[in-house]
Every structure is written in structure tokens, then in C-alpha cells.
Amino acid sequence: MPILDPHSFADAEQPQTRHLTLRLTVDFTRRVLAGEAVLRLDRDSGGPLDLDTRSLTIRSVRCGGREVAFTLHEETPILGQKLSLNVPAGESEVTIAYETSPDSSALQWLSPEQTAGKRQPFLFSQCQAIHARALAPLQDTPRRRITYDAELTIPAALTAVMSAGPAAPVGAHTETKVLAFHMPQPIAPYLLALAVGDLEARDLSPRSRVYAEPATVDAAASEFSEVEAILEAAEKLFGPYDWDRFDMLVLPPSFPYGGMENPRITFLTPTLLAGDRSLVAVVAHELAHSWTGNLITNATAEHFWLNEGFTVWAERRIVEAVWGQDAVLLAWANGAKALEGSLSRYGKDSPLTKLKTDLVGVDPDDAISQIPYEKGARLLVLMERFVGRERWDRFVREYMDRFRFSSITSYQFLAFLEEKLPGTPFAVRAEEWLYTAGLPDNAPAFPSAALDAITSLASGFTAGERPAAEVVARWSPGEMVLYLQNLPRVLSSEDCAWLDANLALTGRGNHEILVEWLTVAAGSDYEPAFPRIREVLLGVGRVKYLRPLYSALGRHPRTQALARDCYAAARPGYHGLSRRVVEQVIAGY
Ligand code: BES
Ligand code: ZN
């Protein structure tokens, strides 16, 4: 049997699911989704069918109205449980009655106290890379794209959103209501998404609105008010936006990521609500996935850089178009430090620093780092510079036309590049970038005298250099982050006190600045910052912030104790993904 995807039990030779119908009741009391999934197959030839599941209870399997025997295999550590059945000849629909488990890895169930409003519970999903199987039984590989319909029965007081067309109410009872959703475009299963809670919406443009809890919806509307300008810039670069609406949902603080590009409803962390619109590049990033990721999708997690590297490249082109050259140079400079961090975390000879990774036996959640993002984007800039922007932009449009609504590998990308711009892969040493570890020595540079001045000021800190008050006052939030990123990781108490007093760091609400500072403070065993560190660790579940903070706390016995203490208190509120990362970090102390 040819292997389709190292992270799926789906078999290359078996029928393919084309359409999925979900009929689910969202049960907040039992913390389960219960109901049925109907898989419509591409043929009625019958025969064996293997599906992916994780922590699902399978009640029955039916084809053409008759019960069919099934086998739910032993749990395997990374992939979950294979569900095998035999489709009778002549049948092309499989109906599976099932329910999820309260600790489904795809779902986080929040009690009312864990929300901003404190009155209603909240549920959200996060399926990338291989958690859709913990939501529904299916062929959970991006190589098997599906359209879908869903009917959700939810508590009458709540609202639901899905990665699909807008909800249509189809039924109401005293305590519950039924909403219907429809996604007519074929998507990878990891883009299935739902959220249920006390949600309100604000329109930002005719095709975009933001959903959030009532307490945060106005702040969200103001933070993301530039969305239409971002959409228009993206369309100018990459072609018409193909997904009808671009809505956004601001999640509770335990959301483990900065953003997730669920089609038609991007999910966002509330830490973007800095009040100064300084973090909207994340919106540009998730929007860019509408082309690079959702239209053209990585065939498996081993080609993840095709999603993320391409999207960082696209995000930065949007940033340049909307906010200008200085803004984009700053983004590349911040990204360079993040890349350095990931290279040193894995070690620059680690196979996980290749762009095309080998993930047989590796959980894709353990392979996420800045490498596919920042190394991937740098390879594309190298190509762009080699052929010139005009030819590159034409190539990108051709690439989008050729592969739209398909899932591709790195080899397909390189072959298409060679076909359209012969000699380019060889000239930029694309194979070295894809298949060897570390950052090749022809990586593009992004020179900027202004930013170099900030980084050298930071490197001179221990030698006594201090930024003047009027210089600091002129820094944008991103420049402040760049300065902090370039400081030594361990400072004396006096130096920490100087920084905190002169840059007013501990009181910041912008989490990019705040966490960069608290990471230095934690690594420096700087006690006055401990209460704020605790507050952040207990208040926010975003992995991007938890990893560096918990790692820096590992440096000293006293801060290790603080980390263990914070984790014990924060664990019940963290998402499963965040728990996993923090436990790995603490185990390394
Ligand atoms: N698709 C990713 C998030 C993701 C990756 C979830 C892998 C699960 C597995 C999303 O587009 C993303 O990259 N988010 C970033 C923000 C972005 C601006 C770099 C994040 O969450 O930090
Ligand atoms: Zn992304």
C-alpha cells in the first residue's frame, strides 16, 4: 500500500471522501459533541475503508440504511485509532454515529469563569495539524479535500461560528436552537472549525466582521478596522479573494496560537488587542493563508513550509504595500531573531531545521518552530530577488492558477518553478535549502541603517550604552521589541531595574513587548518582575509566550520554583497543546 501521508491511516487506493455532513449536538454539560458524520465517497465500488479517529466513541456504522461491522483498532501514540470497515458494493455513503471525548485534543471546553463575560461557557476547536480526527471520523490528511455541511444544536442563548458560509437558523426549541452551515469549497480536513459561546459581531466592511465576547467586541472592531485595506492589498498581489467573506473571531485568552486561518472565519488570540493596531500583521498573515495554505495546501505536514514560508512571504508583501518599507524591514529583523532562537533551540544541525522534514514517527505539533516560517520565507525572497520582482509576481499568479484547490509537495513546487523559471532552483541552491539543516550562506539580507542602530545599541548594553529618552520615545512597538530581542539574555538586577524604569516595561499591555521583557527578567532572576510573570502565565495560553517564559525561568532554582508553581495554578485553564509544550520545557530543567 503506497503511503499517502505519514500522519494518516487513509489508504491511497481506497475510495476518497468528497463531502462530509455533520449533525452534532454541543453538550456543555457532558463536554461532548454527539451525533453523526456522513461521509460521501467518490465511488460506489465498495471495499475496505480506513478512517482516522482519536478518542471518539463509535456507536454504529451504517451504509444504505443497514448496519455495517467495524473495527476500532488499538490507540497508537501519535496517529490515534484506525477505524476500519467494509463498504458494501453499490454504496457511496457511510453514516457513523459517534461522540467526542471530553478531553478531545481538537476541542477546548471553557467554564463561564474562564471567559471574559463569566456568564456563559465557551467551546472552540483547533484542528491543525492532525486533530480533526478528534472531532469527527474522517480521512484526516490534507491530500483528501472535502466540502462540508453541518447542523449544530447549541444552547439557545449562545452563538456558533464555523469555517463555512454564515449560519442559517433551522430550528428553535425552548432551550436549544439548530444552526446550519455550508462550506461549498473543498478544504483540507484540518480547516474544519467551530466555536460556540456568547458572541457578538461588529461589521468592519461589507465582507468582513469581527466576532468576540460582548466585553471585547468593541476593542476588537477598533484594533482590526484596517481589514478591508489589507484585503484589497492582498487581492492586488495574489488575485481575487475566493472565499466570499473574511470574518474574524477573537477567542478567550487560552487560545494556543496567535491566529488560525480557518476559512471564512480566522481565529485570533485576544493578545492582539494591544490598543495600538501594532499587531495586525497577524491578520495579514492569516488572510494570506486564503491563497497560500487554503487554496494551495501542503500535501502533508512534512511540506508545512509551503504553507507557512509562503504565507510569511505573502504577509510581508502585504505589510510593505499597506504600511511601507520601514515596517517590512522591521518585520524581517524581528523574524531574524525568532529564526535564530529556533535554530539554537533545535541545534543548527538538527534535521528539524530542514524545510522538507522527515516526520515519520514525529508528532507534527512537536515540529512547529520558526524554521518553516522564517527560513521558508527567506528562500522565496532569494528566488524573488534572483528573477526580479516582476517575473516573480507573474510566477506566483501562475502558481496560484495551476494549483488552486489542490494539495502539493515541495517537489511539485520545485518542478513548477523549474518549468516556469528554468534554472532558478539550481541558481538559488533550492535543494540545499530544502534538504539540509541550518540556514544556507546565501540567505538574503535585509539591510537597514536605522534598525542596525537599534541592534548595536542593544549589544552595547552591558558595556554601559544606554538609549537616550528621546530615542526611546520615538521607537515604534516593533522597534522596542527589536531592542529587547537583542539584549543579552541575562542581566544584573541593576540593569533590569534601569530598563524597567526607563522603558516602562512591566506595565505594558502590548504582549510582544511585555513578554520579550519578562523573558529577560525571568532569565535574570529579577524578583520585582515575578508578580507580572505570574499574571501573564496565568492569564494567557499562547504557546509563543509560554515557551520563552517557562524556558527562561529554568535558569535559576528560585525561578524554577516559580515556574512550577505558576504551572500548577494555570494548568486547568491551559489548552492541551499549551500543557504539552510547558511540560516538555519543565521536564528539561
Ligand atoms: N496555521 C498557523 C497556526 C498553526 C500552525 C496551528 C501549525 C497548528 C499547527 C497560523 O497561520 C500561524 O502561523 N500563526 C502564527 C502567527 C503568524 C503571524 C506567524 C502564530 O500562531 O503565532
Ligand atoms: Zn500561518
**Pick from 239, 400, 251, 371: which is nearest to 305 by CA?**
371
Whether 173 shows a pLDDT value over 70: the answer reads yes
The pLDDT of residue 2: 67
Q: Which atom of ligand 1 is nearest to the CA of 289?
A: 11
Residues 126 and 93: their CA atoms lie apart, in Å, by: 27
pLDDT in tens, 459-471: 999 999 999 999 9
**Pick from 302, 254, 263: which is nearest to 286 by CA?**
263
Residue 269 CA, ligand 1 centroid: distance in Å:
11
Residue 125 CA, ligand 2 centroid: distance in Å:
17
**Mean pLDDT value of segment 194-203:** 98
Annotated catalytic, 373? yes
Q: Which atom of ligand 1 is nearest to the CA of 304?
A: 7
Q: Which atom of ligand 1 is nearest to the CA of 261?
A: 11
* Atom 11 in ligand 1: residue holding the nearest Cα: 260
pLDDT in tens, 526-543: 999 999 999 999 999 999
Contact 405, 185 (CB under 8 A): yes
Residue 461 CA, ligand 2 centroid: distance in Å:
34
pTM of the prediction?
Answer: 0.98
Domain 1-198, what fold? Immunoglobulin-like (2.60.40)
Among positive and negative, which fits the CA dihedral 546, 549, 555, 558?
Answer: negative
Q: Which atom of ligand 1 is nearest to the CA of 364?
A: 9
Residue 287 CA, ligand 2 centroid: distance in Å:
9
* Atom 1 in ligand 1: residue holding the nearest Cα: 260
* Atom 14 in ligand 1: residue holding the nearest Cα: 259
Where do the DSSP E strands lie in 226-356? Answer: 247-250, 259-260, 265-268, 296-298
The pLDDT of residue 6: 98
Residues 56 and 77: their CA atoms lie apart, in Å, by: 15
Contact 208, 171 (CB under 8 A): no
Give the three cell numbers for residue 96.
457513523
Q: What is the mean pLDDT of the chain?
A: 98
Cα 492 to Cα 178, 404, 464, 515, 583: the distances in Å are 59, 54, 12, 18, 28
**Pick from 168, 142, 178, 170: which is nearest to 302 by CA?**
142
The SS3 assignment for 291 reads: coil
In this structure, which amino acid lies at residue 332? Answer: W
Whether 166 shows a pLDDT value over 90: the answer reads no
Compute the half-sphere exposure of residue 404: CA atoms within 13 Å on the CB side of its CA: 14
Residue 308 CA, ligand 2 centroid: distance in Å:
5
Ligand 1, pocket-test mutation among 308, 332, 362, 546, most atoms within 8 A of CB: 308
Contact 290, 230 (CB under 8 A): no
Residue 444 CA, ligand 1 centroid: distance in Å:
23
**pLDDT band at residue 276 under the 50/70/90 scheme:** very high
The SS3 assignment for 316 reads: helix
Residue 16 CA, ligand 1 centroid: distance in Å:
28
Contact 163, 289 (CB under 8 A): no
Ligand 1, pocket-test mutation among 124, 128, 260, most atoms within 8 A of CB: 260
* Atom 8 in ligand 1: residue holding the nearest Cα: 128
255 CB neighbour count, 10 Å cutoff: 27
**Residue 445 DSSP symbol:** P
344 CB neighbour count, 10 Å cutoff: 9
202 CB neighbour count, 10 Å cutoff: 16
The burial class, CB within 10 Å (0-12 / 13-18 / 19+), for 531 is exposed
Annotated catalytic, 93? no
Q: Which atom of ligand 1 is nearest to the CA of 312?
A: 19
In this structure, which amino acid lies at residue 448? Answer: S
Whether 168 shows a pLDDT value over 90: the answer reads no
Give CB contacts under 8 A, 24+ apart, made by 570-577: 570/537, 570/538, 573/114, 573/254, 573/538, 573/541, 574/254, 574/541, 574/546, 575/108, 575/126, 575/254, 575/255, 575/256, 575/541, 576/103, 576/105, 576/108, 577/105, 577/126, 577/256, 577/365, 577/543
Domain 1-198 and domain 296-435 have a common topology: no
* Atom 6 in ligand 1: residue holding the nearest Cα: 128
* Atom 15 in ligand 1: residue holding the nearest Cα: 258
Residue 258 CA, ligand 1 centroid: distance in Å:
6
Whether 169 shows a pLDDT value over 90: the answer reads no
pLDDT in tens, 492-517: 999 999 999 999 999 999 999 999 99
**Mean pLDDT value of segment 422-435:** 98
Instruction: Kindly report the CATH number that applies to the domain delimited by 449-587.
Output: 1.25.40.320
Q: Report domain extents, the chain.
A: 1-198, 199-275, 296-435, 449-587
Residue 281 CA, ligand 2 centroid: distance in Å:
11
Residues 165 and 271: their CA atoms lie apart, in Å, by: 27
**Ligand 1-lining residues (CB < 6 angstroms):** 128-129, 257-261, 282, 285-286, 289, 308, 368, 373, 544
Alpha-helical runs (H) found in 249-375: 281-288, 304-323, 325-346
Give the three cell numbers for residue 564.
512550577
Return the CA Rg of the chain. Answer: 24
Residues 250 and 269: their CA atoms lie apart, in Å, by: 6
Residues 529 and 518: their CA atoms lie apart, in Å, by: 7
In this structure, which amino acid lies at residue 526? Answer: Y
* Atom 2 in ligand 1: residue holding the nearest Cα: 260
**Residue 167 DSSP symbol:** P
Ligand 1, pocket-test mutation among 187, 190, 257, most atoms within 8 A of CB: 257
* Atom 22 in ligand 1: residue holding the nearest Cα: 258
Quick one: which ligand is closest to 544's CA?
Answer: 1
Q: Which atom of ligand 1 is nearest to the CA of 190?
A: 8
Contact 80, 46 (CB under 8 A): no
Residues 528 and 493: their CA atoms lie apart, in Å, by: 9
**Mean pLDDT value of segment 551-575:** 98
pLDDT in tens, 295-325: 999 999 999 999 999 999 999 999 999 999 9
- Considering the domain 199-275, what is its CATH architecture? 2-Layer Sandwich (3.30)
DSSP line for 421-443: STTHHHHTTHHHHHHSSS--TTP
* Atom 5 in ligand 1: residue holding the nearest Cα: 128
Q: Which atom of ligand 1 is nearest to the CA of 128?
A: 8
The pLDDT of residue 167: 84
The pLDDT of residue 456: 97
Residues 262 and 187: their CA atoms lie apart, in Å, by: 10
pLDDT in tens, 53-91: 999 999 999 999 999 999 999 999 999 999 999 999 999
Catalytic residue of the set 36, 213, 261, 286: 286
Residue 270 CA, ligand 2 centroid: distance in Å:
17
In this structure, which amino acid lies at residue 559? Answer: T
Quick one: which ligand is closest to 541's CA?
Answer: 1
Catalytic residue of the set 190, 211, 257, 373: 373
CATH of 296-435, one of 3.60.21.10, 3.30.830.10, 1.10.390.10, 3.40.50.11540: 1.10.390.10
* Atom 20 in ligand 1: residue holding the nearest Cα: 258
Share of the chain above pLDDT 70, in %: 100
Q: Which atom of ligand 1 is nearest to the CA of 269?
A: 21
